[in-house]
């Protein structure tokens, strides 16, 4: 899998022309974004890219834009605006815009050069890294997609200033996960600080990137990233993706996974208690907590379910995850 740069830099947006010049020689740039991000950042981006001819395609905010209809619409608009197969496509937005635009980039004209400028914390630490792009069907999330790497990812923590507390916490949940499975120092930082800087964003990305490099096509090591997600997905599915944000669902899921670890004498009760206190403090979970037994049926439909049970990620020590095989009677 070819390498690409991830620039993580406060006010890095100002250096966008420099990063573009390293990978792109033409003058036309097509940017897909959503209405919220467009409203907040259109002018700034236009000024910074003053030397370029910039075309915007703006979609509605929210998961509904990861659909075949919007995918079709975006491609039509790009073609109508004159896009050619060697033109650069930029995703400017959260994970929705990143996944949608990446999938457009991987398929329009059989693939065009693509860059990611993630603007939510979740997109900065998670969805913009790893090459997975795609859209949803009514039957399920991310059912159509591909692996498609950007030319570069530009992460500017300045974008987080306009993010709502809820969206911020959503990204923190994935960072807490990254700390628990792969970086003790990151986890300890998150225990005592409610804001993050370039440094912690870099640490979280590093956890994901290391696993992605070992396992680009998600066959093995990437599975560790699923800590908290088996139950998290079950919670999202059972509640029709409405009641809980992804970060909240995986927060309950992480606690369920830690609880199963405690039951199997792999995880210490103190770790469970500490993570629970942290997630309560960040508003990611509320008491009474959701319970494992209420989500068993959904787990059976999880794509990682193997028929005779499932491979499940637990954390035995902070910064160190482990795969255990669980039979249905085990949880
Ligand atoms: N490809 C992957 O590996 C991967 C990994 C994790 C998640 N995802 C996907 O990511 C998506 C979720 O991404 P998300 O949580 O970023 O949601 P999102 O893209 O819907 O963004 C959340 C909200 O924040 C707004 N927003 C974005 N940037 C902002 C800013 N700087 N200031 C103010 N508001 C801003 C958006 O308009 C939107 O309303 C899901 O579709 C999920 O499947 C993909
Ligand atoms: Zn996740």
Interatomic CA distance for residues 147 and 268, integer angstroms: 37
Pocket of ligand 1 contains residue 103 by CB under 6 Å: no
Cβ pair 142, 127 in contact under 8 A: no
Q: What average pLDDT does the segment 186-192 reach?
A: 97
36 Cβ below 6 A of ligand 1: yes
Q: Does the C-beta of 282 come closer than 6 Å to ligand 1?
A: no
Contact between 34 and 60 under an 8 Å Cβ cutoff? The reply is yes
Tens-place pLDDT, residues 232-242? 999 999 998 89
Average pLDDT over residues 213-225: 93
Q: Per-residue pLDDT averaged across 307-321, rounded?
A: 89
Tens of pLDDT, residue by residue over 12-71, are 999 999 999 999 999 999 999 999 999 999 999 999 999 999 999 999 999 999 999 999
Residues 311 and 323 sit within 8 Å (Cβ to Cβ): yes
Q: Is the CB of 177 under 6 A from ligand 1?
A: no
Which pLDDT score, from 0 to 100, does residue 326 have? 86
Out of 171-180, 212-221, 278-287, which region has the weakest mean confidence (pLDDT)? 212-221
How many angstroms separate the CA atoms of 209 and 154, rounded?
15
Min mean pLDDT across 54-68, 74-88, 142-156, 297-311 is at 297-311
Starting from the CA of residue 165, give the closest ligand. Answer: 1
Average pLDDT, the chain: 95
When pLDDT is cut at 50, 70 and 90, the band that residue 157 belongs to is very high
Rounded to a whole number of angstroms, the distance between the first and last alpha carbons of the chain is: 37
Question: Which alpha helices (H) appear in the chain, and where do they start and end?
Answer: 16-23, 35-48, 68-80, 95-107, 121-122, 165-182, 184-192, 198-214, 229-238, 246-263, 269-281, 296-300
Distance from the alpha carbon of residue 95 to the mean position of ligand 2, in angstroms? 11
Would you place residue 2 in the very low, low, confident or very high pLDDT band (cuts 50, 70, 90)?
low
pLDDT band for position 305 (cuts 50, 70, 90): low
């Amino acid at each position: 899998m070819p390498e690409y740069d991830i620039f993580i830099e406060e006010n890095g947006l100002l250096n966008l022309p420099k990063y573009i010049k390293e990978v792109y020689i033409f003058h036309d740039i097509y940017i897909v974004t959503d209405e919220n991000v467009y409203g907040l950042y259109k002018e700034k981006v236009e000024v910074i890219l003053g030397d370029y001819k910039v075309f915007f395609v703006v979609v509605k905010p929210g998961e509904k834009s990861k659909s075949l209809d919007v995918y079709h619409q975006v491609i039509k608009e790009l073609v109508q605006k004159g896009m050619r197969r060697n033109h650069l496509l930029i995703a400017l937005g959260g994970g929705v815009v990143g996944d949608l635009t990446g999938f457009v980039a991987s398929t329009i004209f059989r693939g065009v050069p693509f860059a990611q400028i993630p603007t939510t914390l979740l997109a900065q630490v998670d969805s913009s890294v790893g090459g997975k792009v795609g859209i949803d069907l009514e039957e399920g999330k991310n059912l159509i997609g591909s692996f498609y790497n950007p030319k570069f990812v530009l992460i500017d923590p300045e974008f987080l200033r306009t993010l709502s507390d809820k969206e911020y916490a959503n990204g923190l949940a994935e960072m807490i996960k990254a700390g628990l499975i792969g970086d003790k120092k990151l986890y300890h930082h998150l225990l005592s600080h409610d804001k993050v800087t370039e440094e912690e964003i870099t640490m979280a990305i590093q956890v994901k990137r290391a696993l992605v490099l070992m396992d680009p096509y998600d066959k093995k090591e990437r599975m560790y990233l699923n800590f908290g997600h088996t139950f998290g997905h079950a919670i999202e599915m059972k509640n029709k993706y409405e009641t809980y944000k992804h970060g909240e669902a995986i927060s309950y899921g992480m606690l369920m996974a830690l609880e199963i670890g405690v039951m199997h004498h792999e995880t210490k009760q103190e770790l469970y208690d500490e993570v629970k206190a942290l997630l309560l403090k960040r508003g990611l979970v509320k008491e009474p907590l959701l319970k494992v037994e209420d989500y068993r049926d959904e787990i059976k439909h999880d794509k990682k379910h193997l028929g005779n049970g499932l491979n499940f990620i637990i954390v035995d020590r902070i910064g160190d995850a482990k795969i255990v095989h669980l039979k249905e009677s085990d949880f």
